[in-house]
Amino acid sequence: MKNSLRIDCLQYANWSEKVFRQMRQGRVDAVHVTIAYHETFRETVLNFEKWNRWFERFPDLIMKGLTASDIDRAQQTDRTAIFFGFQNPSPIEDDIGLVEIVHTLGARFMQLTYNNQSLLATGCYENEDTGITRMGRQVIREMNRVGLVVDMSHSADRSTIEAADLSQRPIAITHANPHEWVPALRNKKDDVIRAVTSNGGMLGFSLYPHHLKDKSDCTLESFCEMVARTADRFGTEHLGIGSDLCQDQPDSVVEWMRTGRWSKDIDYGEGSASAPGFPDMPAWFRDNRDFGNIEKGLRDVGMSEDEVAGIMGGNWYRFFADNFGGQR
């Protein structure tokens, strides 16, 4: 297992030189970046193009990541490897052929739903969970073939369990926490986590305040105890960090994330009806410079050096190495 790696498997910041420099100050070797929430294929291509300009402007800070070996190259050259993902299947529209196209462009993760029912599966905010759809089964098969990881972070329970069982490759919940710790709609119940991890998949722990105990006032010790208890139940090797950091974003972007085009009403999101923007992060994790706090916190609750190294990045590295390539 790779040692001393720091990999965050979900961020959606207002990207800037400031954020990229903070990544380097925090020694973050790789970040899974959301490149689409509700965008069409064409709109997503424009987002890829925008990132190409950032790679050109800041080649000393960031680089495009396509395989796990790119994390090695990033670490050796003091840069952060950027891996792309979608929080919604909208970029493939209703065309299964676009799965391979978006993978070729650089996408490595795709959620089958974002809170609502999609063409592929049911989101966690729906009252009825009908599971994976006919198209969803075909798309999972195609994602497996090309090496696009199935992400079920915003999906409902039955849909997530079915995806874990149907997929021929391990799937991921890149950013969520155990429902037992905080009973938020998007946090995952034990049978869901078990279905994902028993099939070789990964759970990335989220620092989104509405999914933390005591929200923005959550303590580092509380968070790290939750990680340690989850490791006891499901195995440390299946766990990592997916911070869900949404740094410097204006309320208009947060509204787009939550609402997109599906509603004329503003959907403030779970637990945040009186606060339309993004809630304050806990004091011990404001931005990418604070990953060292989590590392120390995990040690302080009794986790071994190998366990801490796995959760901070080694486990995601192994998962990337096994799942980003096409099937032979």
- Whole-prediction pTM: 0.95
Tell me whether residue 66 is in a domain.
yes
What totals of helices (H) and strands (E) does the chain contain, helices first? 12, 9
The pLDDT score that the predictor gives to residue 265 is: 81
Instruction: Kindly compute the dihedral angle of the four CA atoms of residues 89, 174, 145, 74, in this order, to the nearest 10 degrees.
Output: 110
The pLDDT score that the predictor gives to residue 270 is: 55
Tell me whether residue 328 is in a domain.
no
Range of the domain at 278: 7-323
Tell me whether residue 61 is in a domain.
yes
The pLDDT score that the predictor gives to residue 2 is: 44
The pLDDT score that the predictor gives to residue 1 is: 42
* pLDDT tens, residue order, the chain (328 aa): 444 899 999 999 999 999 999 999 999 999 999 999 999 999 999 999 999 999 999 999 999 999 999 999 999 999 999 999 999 999 999 999 999 999 999 999 999 999 999 999 999 999 999 999 999 999 999 999 999 999 999 999 999 999 999 999 999 999 999 999 999 999 999 999 999 999 999 999 999 999 999 999 999 999 999 999 999 999 999 999 999 999 998 888 888 888 898 888 876 555 444 456 788 999 999 999 999 999 999 999 999 999 999 999 999 999 999 999 888 6
Lookup: tokens for 145: 């073939």
The closest of 218, 114, 199, 206 to 161, measured between CA atoms, is: 199
Angstrom distances, CA of residue 297 to CA of 30, 179, 291, 293:
21, 21, 10, 6
DSSP assignments along 246-282, one per residue: -TT--HHHHHHHHHTTT-SS----TT-TT--SPPPPP
Tell me whether residue 1 is in a domain.
no
Number of structural domains (the chain) is: 1
Provide the CATH number for the domain around residue 266. 3.20.20.140
How many residues would you count in the chain? 328
Tell me whether residue 136 is in a domain.
yes
DSSP assignments along 55-97, one per residue: HHH-TTTEEE--STHHHHHHHHTT-EEEEEEESSSGGGTT-TT
Tell me whether residue 174 is in a domain.
yes
Tell me whether residue 71 is in a domain.
yes
Helix (H) or strand (E) holding 203: strand 202-205
Tell me whether residue 104 is in a domain.
yes
